[in-house]
Chain A
Amino acid sequence: MFKFFLIKLAQLVPTFIGVTIVAFAFIRLLPGDPILLMAGERGISAERYAQLESQMGFDRSLVVQYLDFLKGLLHGDLGNSLVTHAPVMDEFMSRFPATLELSLFALAFAVIIGLPAGVLAAVKRGKTLDHTIMGVSLTGYSMPIFWWGLLLIMLFSSTLGWTPVSGRISYMYFIEPVTGFMTIDSLIAGDWGAFLSALHYLILPSIVLGTIPLAVIARQTRSSMLEVLGEDYVRTARAKGLSNFRVIMVHTLRNALISVVTVIGLQVGLLLAGAILTETIFSWPGIGKWMIDAISRRDYPSVQGGLVLIAFIVMIVNLLVDLAYGVINPRIRH
């Protein structure tokens, strides 16, 4: 098992170097220039431009800039934001828990609804229930997030008044961040009102962000359930006279889960991507919204640093999924 882990870890190194190159090049390939954007309609004198350029270090060759970026990265230093002048690492770390909290709630929502829905569809294969579940999940999968979010806000927040429109917690509460998870921090602070408020604010964004993963999980569960249901050992189990419930939940679902877990793991990358739109709609103070702002201001250090960190997180999650996979299915280890 340990050897398996080391091999997987070693495989990450070239990927990570590739990511740093892409992240570095991406924001520089985009047309636009942070100094010009800051100067706006007024423009800026060539002299002042040169001065700022050299302060920001953009007058050096790209290779030198890249090596400098790599060197900083190895020391855990991603440079300072061009806009706020604060270290990119601090900016990222103060916002990442918000994204993680939202993603986990969205994932929980997707699994809690998606898994049983998939099982049900497989068991009732070809029946109306199956068609309904698959139809709804196809709709969910093709839902444009922005439109879906606004639709829910208009219905549940503006019209019915059940949920807040946007934000992370009511402005009545100010919880000192400890873990950065609003739900946990409010409990640490012993403030029930804040905890309930945080949950209340999580409902709509979790549903919106969880919709696509839910559809993917439901469909994947259904198809791998069907595959396993056709296996000999399931027939044997039935022949032995086991209850239908036991056959499905123990013999089928457990084996079907292997591919479902992989799919759930793959959703993490999707969730982080989806978080960008979801956070924009719900004014959620996470890294998605922060990245969008940084890109529109061409804040090079924030964008390249943010991309590398996000890629790093996705890679680690995928590594964990591979390991979990090894635990569930020992054959993979070799």
Chain B
Amino acid sequence: MKKTLLAAGIAAMMTGATPVMAKTLVYCSEGSPEGFDPSLYTAGTTFDASSKTIYNRLVQFKPGTTEVEPAIAESWDVSDDGLEVTFHLRDDVKFQTTDYFTPSRALDADDVIWTFERQMDENNPYYKLANGSFEYFNAMSMGDLIESIDKVDDHTVKFVLTEPNAPFVANLAMDFASIHSKEYEQQLLDEGKPELANQQPIGTGPFQFVNYREDAAIRYQANPDYFRGKQPIDNLVFAITSDAQVRYQKLMAGECQVMPFPNPSDVEAMQQNADINVLEEAGLNVAYLAYNTQMAPFDKPEVRKALNMAINKQAIIDAVFQGAGQVAKNPIPPSMWGYNDAIQDDPYDPEKAEQMLKDAGVENLKMNIWAMPVQRPYMPNARRTAELMQSDLSKVGVDAQIVTYEWGEYLKRSSDVNRDGAVILGWTGDNGDPDNFLGVLLGCDGVGGANRSQWCYQPFDELIQKARTLDSQEERAKLYEQAQEIFKEQAPWDTLAHSTVFMPLRKEVTGYKIDPLGGHSFEGVDIE
């Protein structure tokens, strides 16, 4: 039997006799991780349990923000043509020592190169093992972007790109770019069990893996060799609790100290509970209604604008978001750099909307509104939203029908260029870069894919393309501000809302910061 130090620590805490107690934080996580190798997966639940706890990346998002700051790389420089990005690595980063692995050397350039090779080099054994299914790496087009990765010396790595790409460095702060130990994975390969890397992970992060009981609990302990110093808590436990109601009960009973994703309807009661703090922050997301701009009469900007003016967005925020959100006027959220606050939203004005439709020669318009069948972080209830829109639109003489499909089907059909109707959907940012919203969701490349309004508008697309190649954030921000003006003028979407993220935790927990990108990290968290 293996009884961990944890048990001893808790027993000590219960008797209250021992002065030195192990601090244990229990987090009621919402689901089971798919595995512990973050390069293989795309789900936030998996990243919380792997990349956020066990691993580090070359660069990272400054906690609580989307700003990129140094991590394993202490600095980096970009060549004048934007094609070469050189990272200078810290020399004091060690991989974790566990029951199953003892590193013989500190992290160096070989580990960095290995991390990316295993996701892009068809001859790498880990690439073969996964059949190349590194979905996030692929989705961010990293394979096309990286021409080569060169080792300059033991602590300097140079990425050569196929084209200048400003969001590239931010991409390296994403979970899939977590740095793996080449030494450990080589050892597993030599032993003929490479798949263990996904079950017994080794990283450089603040916590190291202890064990996982499927669907029940994951245990970690603080990494004593962590390059930023040992964490204030000694043990971290993820108690997997899929039902939001039950997580709330556990939090109240003190069985866990932090829980994600409360039911919106419970938030008010939580705020009144003396044992619970509810942190809140605007999420890095947007919910929108995307018209099919390739189909008449929605190909005319004035028709789209008129429909936008017929929909009462504040009423949706009040009824559907129950106040946990704000009306969106731009396609990017206000906390993101490049947000154009000077934009005036089209006001809710049904009379004018009716007139505008008449002027555009549109009468007795019949249209479909697509409502997603699932709840998403940016949209608590799409069906209810659609119903409110339907009643708003009927007031200006538009007959709207609500349609829906199973979620996978919905995602697929809504991408179709010939889709009939306007689609409710949304997006949560990956890397905090405006390009990740404006480029992915509204660029010409996305038509037939993530660009649900099928909107390819040259003046807008040129700005986005150009911004991608510039290195200066200030210059890029200017281009994005212009792009948002064009967006508002053309109105391919009705921008609906940016939702608020709530994070209930017990009063004794300190130092927790909400990650605007949706992850959950316990670095720097303490219990009083």
Contacts and interface: CB of A to CB of B under 8 A. Distances in A.
Given A31-B405, A55-B131, A165-B253, A172 B32 contact: no
A171 B242 contact: no
A36 B249 contact: no
Interface in A262-315: 280-283, 285-286, 289-290, 293, 298
B449 A45 contact: yes
Interface in B27-55: 31-32, 34-35, 42
Given A32-B406, A36-B408, A176 B426 contact: no
A150 B244 CA distance: 11
Contacts of A150: 245-246, 249
Interface in A145-170: 150, 153-154, 157-158, 161, 164-168
A23 B311 CA distance: 45
Contacts of B450: 41-43
Contacts of A85: 35, 195, 198
B411 interface: yes
A283 B253 contact: no
B128 interface: no
Given A37-B408, A43-B449, A283 B1 contact: no
B216 A167 contact: yes
Contacts of B131: 55
B296 interface: no
B134 to A, nearest CB: 11
Point out which of A30, A45, A285 has the most chain B C-beta atoms below 10 A from its C-beta: A285
B425 A41 contact: yes
Contact of B6 (A38, A94, A171, A176): A171
B440 interface: yes
A191 interface: yes
A153 B7 CA distance: 25
B214 interface: yes
Given A42-B440, A95-B215, A157-B249, A191 B243 contact: no
Given A283-B239, A285-B213, A285-B214, A83 B34 contact: yes
Interface of B is mostly: mixed
A52 interface: yes
A95 B216 CA distance: 10
Contacts of A48: 138
Contacts of B198: 85
Nearest to A154: B249
A192 to B, nearest CB: 12
Contacts of B26: 171
A43 B216 contact: no
A168 B408 contact: no
Nearest to A45: B449
Contact of B7 (A30, A173, A281, A293): A173
A55 B408 CA distance: 19
Interface string A128-153: 00000000000000000000001001
Contacts of A282: 246
A9 interface: no
A38 B219 contact: no
Interface string B198-237: 1000000000000101111101000000000000000001
Contacts of A32: 406-409
B280 interface: no
Given A171-B239, A176-B2, A285-B215, A166 B138 contact: no
Sort A-B residue pairs by CB-CB distance and give the 10 closest, nearest first.
A285-B215, A36-B408, A189-B1, A31-B406, A285-B216, A32-B408, A43-B449, A165-B250, A283-B241, A172-B10
Interface of B: 1-4, 6-7, 10-11, 24, 26, 31-32, 34-35, 42, 131, 133, 135, 138-139, 195, 198, 211, 213-217, 219, 237, 239-243, 245-246, 249-250, 252-253, 255, 405-409, 411-412, 415, 425-427, 440, 449-450
27 contacts: A30-B406, A32-B407, A36-B412, A39-B139, A41-B411, A48-B138, A55-B133, A84-B34, A157-B249, A158-B249, A165-B246, A165-B255, A166-B241, A167-B241, A168-B216, A171-B26, A171-B239, A173-B3, A174-B7, A174-B211, A175-B1, A189-B1, A191-B1, A283-B242, A285-B213, A293-B31, A293-B242
